[in-house]
Structure 1
Amino acid sequence: MPALLRRMCLLALCLALPLRAAELSVDLGHGARTYRTEQLLARGDARTISVPDDVSFKRAMRYRAVPLKALLQGARADDALLFVASDGFAAEIPAAQILQAHGSEAWLAIEDPAHPWPPIAADKAAGPFYVVWTDPQAMRIGPEQWPFQLAAIRRLAPAAERFPGIVPDPALKPDSAIRKGFAVFQRTCFACHTLNGQGEARLGPDLNIPHSATEYLRDDLLRAYIRDPQSLRHWPQARMPGFDRQALSDSELDELLAYLRHMSARKLHADHP
């Protein structure tokens, strides 16, 4: 058999094979528990859900999914949960948003190896596990709270305890715009970026060292970039999503920029841990 024909037969055989079952690790501080694809699909609480406007696929999608809170037995409402993706994305979501949902509900979508999901883009898949939300507008769930390619969920101490370098001046009043911006930063930016070299994510550049974007971009251009990154620098391979006013209000954007400007004067370097 000619070499080219052999390669074509091998490729056809590979395409015909189902995807391998995957594993999700959940560690809430009492030892990690592993869930396999087939176990999750066979659960009694698994059901088919419809997501009318999926954040990643940009269209209506249907999934076989289980309520995410059902996999978080033992978690407390004041816990922080880290959702780690295989591509380096790491989203921190307050457990309260999942356990005490008021309108929005989080689901773990499970990719069936026999019926794989379409790709999000030519070189990007969402499976094997993907956190999706029904009625996300009710709690203003942002795009960074839809982690796909999910590999692990871990219970964490609060971010301020783990990463003191991201904390603004303790002397600030609790209701200051900078402190509010710190909360916005943790919700919208910390899933992809570090700050002062601290954080779990490795997708985007550090937002404070060697320079903060507030130091080299005009205010109007920085605002435009956050709203629509492609409007400032067209780059087809860019991975940063835009944050519209539903995901990030004008007042929240003001607070975020106040925090970033504040932190530009609080840089930490290798010789200053």
Structure 2
Amino acid sequence: MRSFLLLAFTLLALPLHAAQLTVELANGIHTWDTSQLLKHPQARDIDIVGDVSYKRSMHYRAVPVAVLLEGVKQDNHLLVIATDGFAAQMLAAPLLQTTEARAWLAIEDPAHPWPGLGADKPSAGPFYLVWTGPKSSGISPEQWPYAVAEIRLQASVAERFPALLPDRALAKDDPVNKGFALFQNNCLACHRLNGAGDAQLGPDLNMPHNPTEYFAADYLKLYIRNPQNLRQWPQAKMPAITTEVLSDDELDQVVAYLKHMAGRKAEHL
């Protein structure tokens, strides 16, 4: 009986929501659990003004993302994967910098869980990539992935997914190529195109049909700006893409890329 009670007490004392982060780099695979990160020598208490996910100021225990990326170089590419299928493609340079915008991995303490992101929704934990001073480096909302499970060193999107590439005959400064760069930063975290990409959250944007093929006139841009303006759906996951994230010219470039790719479906490449 005494052994049984001791075991029961031990199980009750364990964190209810302890989690593990996997960081896959050139020098191997590293794993960190919640308690290790909370006790990390560089862990700090930080305040985030205007948190992208919570839409208000938040306080976190966090470690600089840079300390988890040993050996990563400025021009490397990283994939930040969330438990819900969100997969953010990120250049390493902003994650490594220690001035201006600075990236932090916020850690949810099981003893003090964060609030839900909405009614009947889970929190942003167990790990959440947040930024101090994001406006100084033009950090977009897609660069704030929450429910993070893994950070992985990868080749560039263009190298890994040639099915995403526009026609190579286009000039480097063509609006389609500019739209491709914007698509990588703002759309590829949720969507695939031609079956290519890492995300599991949103639908493919070219197979079997490209949205430029079935949205009339400027309704596609209206939908991107705010999906609720076109289809009222309380459970919709796609956020509004404001002019602070994509200017009108940039939105035109993204649509130009999508329209171009409608003629480059996977079966024709």
Q: 1:224 matched to which residue of 2?
A: 222
C-alpha distance in 2 between matches for 1:101 and 1:226: 33
1:142 deviates by 1.3
Q: Deviations over 1:39-88 (max 9, x none)?
A: 11111211111111111111111100011111111111111100011111
Matches within 5 A, 1:53-202: 53-100=50-97, 103-121=100-118, 122-202=120-200
1:101 deviates by 6.1
Closer/same/farther in 2, CA of residues 33 and 252 from structure 1, 3 Å limit: same
1:15 deviates by 11
- The answer to whether the 8 A contact 1:79-1:95 is kept is yes
TM-score where L is the length of structure 1: 0.90
TM-score where L is the length of structure 2: 0.92
Q: Which amino acid aligns with 2:103?
A: A
Q: 1:50 matched to which residue of 2?
A: 47
C-alpha distance in 1 between matches for 2:210 and 2:252: 16
Matched position secondary structure for 1:77: coil
Q: 2:5 matched to which residue of 1?
A: none
Instruction: Find runs of 4+ consecutive structure 1 residues off by over 2 angstroms.
Output: 14-20
- The answer to whether the 8 A contact 1:102-1:139 is kept is no
Q: Deviations over 1:126-147 (max 9, x none)?
A: 1100001112111221111111
C-alpha distance in 2 between matches for 1:93 and 1:219: 32
Unmatched 5+ stretches in structure 2: 1-10
- The answer to whether the 8 A contact 2:103-2:129 is kept is yes
C-alpha distance in 1 between matches for 2:155 and 2:44: 32
Q: Deviations over 1:98-128 (max 9, x none)?
A: 1236621110000011100011121332110
Q: CA RMSD in A?
A: 1.8
Q: Which amino acid aligns with 2:109?
A: D
1:19 deviates by 2.6
C-alpha distance in 2 between matches for 1:20 and 1:161: 37
Closer/same/farther in 2, CA of residues 15 and 188 from structure 1, 3 Å limit: farther
Matches within 5 A, 1:1-20: 18-20=15-17
- The answer to whether the 8 A contact 1:102-1:138 is kept is no
Q: Which amino acid aligns with 1:261?
A: K
